[in-house]
Chain A
């Protein structure tokens, strides 16, 4: 069962990473904030005297603000690639509106009588700006900077999606691994950081004039100092660059296994799997941690490196079903098992490719395949009860669930109710255990590491063998949850390291050991 490690223990154990991520986060926040201030304040000043420009500038900045952050990062990738540049650019764009708007309203809000008095005493535009308007607008401008800071700390967590580091690495790794401690180890420091920075800036905002002047000289240096916290997450420098998902970074069979078992020393950035494959294709990354049946392997012509030391446990897919249902409808098991043996890795990759890249609907893809395999039968009239099918949210699961639905409709008199899009492992599994669904396709490795959490010795004893893992999982599921694993479908959607086929061939790399040796020989 779940290891009962306290949050505090986790944070101490991972203090090195935590510190680095916090520093990266502060750095990211301040670099983008600094640029936003340098551009936003003058722009805000400029538009105070230009009504029409004001509408246009505030309007555009407002529109930028409404773009969801994930989407904005998405737009950045084709333009600026991955890494710090697009992350800083996106954060800068979010910080811009509050700073421009508050500068504008702050200066416009200065008592017109005071402004007129300044004119009447013979002050020039410049003198009025620096001696009257800016000092009086200062608290409002500071409020804008505070808002921007809090926004940047929050949105900054998304930087982890595009290999720019920060506390998002823990947060998204934790979500993927169903590890609450890891989520909190990222989320709590991020929240504290937002509160702390907001508080410190509120002190500056309320400062008297004398202190404030000193502060205004010091502030750029403080900002620059904080900005310099952002040093790219360079583990090692190496000839090739790896991009791993937060999940892969955090699990024992992932990055840690690579280092311990293979002695792989590669410069690594953390990145979301949504952009990882494309980044590899575009030569932004050389090695990535993908799934071996992902359709994008084919889309981007990537090569799976052979896991010759077997560190990645097998992830064979099979339907997991409530025992009650199997007993109630005895004809069901043979029907669901019809798929077994029909889909190997390359067929699954091909099917995923059709859906992910060619834009086929999972339903058409499933139907075509069943017809080709001679398994398809038109729906039989419904005579008996209902079976509820669930799936996680990615194409492979959609395809499988469509195939099962068609098989059940064709070969039994059961009504099928599909509940697709049940998020990740945790949600599907909980739904099954709590009798909200009757069946979903699961992977042996996931069941082992994310649901059963056996002792480390047990995992080693299983040794990554296909059948022992399957039997272990099957036995425990029946005993502990009353759930049955039907026959494996045949493909293994395991973790895999991937490279561009052309580069791998050119460097003569076929296995992970080859990669480790290449890196050792070609140290920088």
Chain B
């Protein structure tokens, strides 16, 4: 469980994250949603202390992240970057093995784990001895995910993990992501500015603007009970698609309701 309590971060007088609090339950996927510059990345990086919080407190399983060294904290938290951040001078196998090696796993255990992850992420084992630049963007992102999962951390932080991919690759990766059993038990915080993606992947959404959480809740809740005009406007463009997504595909009446609603609004 991750508890974020009254976290604020200021850069040179500009408040990037403003008194934010939320909780992520174990095994839950929380999506930080918001426009560019709303403070999502800053907030995410404070959780594994890539950025030190200005004020407030973050607890993981009841323990403050400020207890102990940041290195120990980070080794227990997987982190996925938008542009992979793979080591260009390491092979794929080497990249995946980084954290296990830091943790001192033996070679055989690392090897087994690497093969398993490659298989689960749909990457041919022949790539293990390749270098990152020899792989496509989608494949690199899969390796980035494998690297974050390598030491089986209970927590995963993901910053726009599909943001740099073309739409087709993105959809296929999102689908695999949802089905990956490795992720079922993990506590995940995922950052995105893509509303569709948020609704696709989130158990709960935190909608952020100007460093503040505007509304937090299940996707359905945000759609049906927007806290204010900002939230309502935020979803308006894609409301139809989102409502369809929320629906039981067999519930005909609801589908027609939604369509009529959409049509009338259009007038």
> In the complex where A113-B81, A127-B102 touch, is A119 in contact with B87 (Cβ < 8 A)?
no
Identify which of B74, B83, B89 contacts A121 (C-beta below 8 A): B74
Identify which of B79, B81, B88, B147 contacts A136 (C-beta below 8 A): B88
Contact with A along B35-53 (1 / 0, CB 8 A): 0000000000000101000
CB pair A113–B89 under 8 Å, yes or no, is no
- Inter-chain CA distance A118–B48, complex, in Å, is 13
How far in angstroms is the closest Cβ of chain A from B83? 6
CB pair B98–A121 under 8 Å, yes or no, is yes
Identify which of B71, B75, B87 contacts A117 (C-beta below 8 A): B87
**What is the number of residues of chain B that contact chain A, defined by CB distance less than 8 Å?**
21
> In the complex where A113-B81, A127-B102 touch, is A120 in contact with B86 (Cβ < 8 A)?
no
CB pair B89–A119 under 8 Å, yes or no, is no
CB pair B50–A122 under 8 Å, yes or no, is no
Q: Hey, which chain B residues are within 8 Å of A118, CB to CB?
A: 87
How far in angstroms is the closest Cβ of chain A from B90? 8
B-contacting residues, A12-68, CB 8 Å: none
Nearest-CB residue, chain A, relative to B91: A209
A191 adjacent to chain B (CB < 8 Å): no
- Inter-chain CA distance A209–B131, complex, in Å, is 12
Nearest-CB residue, chain B, relative to A118: B87
B-contacting residues, A202-235, CB 8 Å: 209
Q: Hey, which chain A residues are within 8 Å of B87, CB to CB?
A: 114, 117-118, 132
Nearest-CB residue, chain B, relative to A124: B71
> In the complex where A116-B50, A127-B102 touch, is A122 in contact with B85 (Cβ < 8 A)?
no
**What is the number of residues of chain A that contact chain B, defined by CB distance less than 8 Å?**
17
CB pair B85–A120 under 8 Å, yes or no, is yes
A379 adjacent to chain B (CB < 8 Å): no
A257 adjacent to chain B (CB < 8 Å): no
A519 adjacent to chain B (CB < 8 Å): no
Identify which of B75, B84, B86, B89 contacts A135 (C-beta below 8 A): B89
Nearest-CB residue, chain A, relative to B159: A120
Interface centre among B84, B85, B98, by most A CB within 10 Å?
Answer: B85
How far in angstroms is the closest Cβ of chain A from B142? 16
Q: Hey, which chain A residues are within 8 Å of B147, CB to CB?
A: 121
> In the complex where A113-B81, A123-B71 touch, is A136 in contact with B102 (Cβ < 8 A)?
no
Q: Hey, which chain B residues are within 8 Å of A127, CB to CB?
A: 102
- Inter-chain CA distance A119–B99, complex, in Å, is 11
How far in angstroms is the closest Cβ of chain B from A123? 7
- Inter-chain CA distance A152–B72, complex, in Å, is 46
- Inter-chain CA distance A121–B80, complex, in Å, is 10
How far in angstroms is the closest Cβ of chain B from A282? 53
Nearest-CB residue, chain A, relative to B102: A122
CB pair B88–A119 under 8 Å, yes or no, is no
Identify which of A111, A114, A121, A209 contacts B79 (C-beta below 8 A): A121
How far in angstroms is the closest Cβ of chain A from B103? 9
- Inter-chain CA distance A369–B191, complex, in Å, is 94
- Inter-chain CA distance A116–B50, complex, in Å, is 8
A-contacting residues, B60-85, CB 8 Å: 70-75, 79, 81, 83-85
Identify which of B85, B86, B88, B99 contacts A116 (C-beta below 8 A): B85
> In the complex where A117-B86, A135-B89, A209-B89 touch, is A123 in contact with B102 (Cβ < 8 A)?
yes
Q: Hey, which chain B residues are within 8 Å of A119, CB to CB?
A: 50, 74
A-contacting residues, B164-213, CB 8 Å: none
CB pair A113–B85 under 8 Å, yes or no, is yes
How far in angstroms is the closest Cβ of chain A from B51? 10
> In the complex where A119-B50, A122-B99 touch, is A113 in contact with B75 (Cβ < 8 A)?
no
CB pair B102–A120 under 8 Å, yes or no, is no
- Inter-chain CA distance A118–B70, complex, in Å, is 13
- Inter-chain CA distance A309–B54, complex, in Å, is 91
Identify which of A117, A124, A136, A209 contacts B85 (C-beta below 8 A): A117
CB pair A120–B89 under 8 Å, yes or no, is no
CB pair A120–B71 under 8 Å, yes or no, is no
How far in angstroms is the closest Cβ of chain B from A396? 64
How far in angstroms is the closest Cβ of chain B from A290? 60
> In the complex where A119-B50, A121-B99, A209-B89 touch, is A113 in contact with B83 (Cβ < 8 A)?
yes
Further 9 A-B residue pairs, CB within 8 A, beyond A117-B85, A120-B74: A114-B87, A120-B48, A121-B102, A121-B147, A122-B75, A122-B99, A132-B87, A135-B89, A209-B89
The 9 A-B residue pairs with the shortest CB-CB distance in the complex, in nearest-first order = A117-B85, A122-B75, A122-B74, A120-B79, A122-B71, A113-B85, A135-B89, A121-B99, A121-B98
Question: Would you give 16 A-B contacts (Cβ < 8 Å), ordered by A?
Answer: A111-B88, A113-B81, A114-B86, A114-B88, A116-B85, A117-B86, A119-B50, A120-B48, A121-B74, A121-B79, A121-B102, A122-B74, A122-B75, A123-B102, A127-B102, A136-B89
Binding site for A on B (CB under 8 A): 48, 50, 70-75, 79, 81, 83-89, 98-99, 102, 147
Binding site for B on A (CB under 8 A): 111, 113-114, 116-124, 127, 132, 135-136, 209
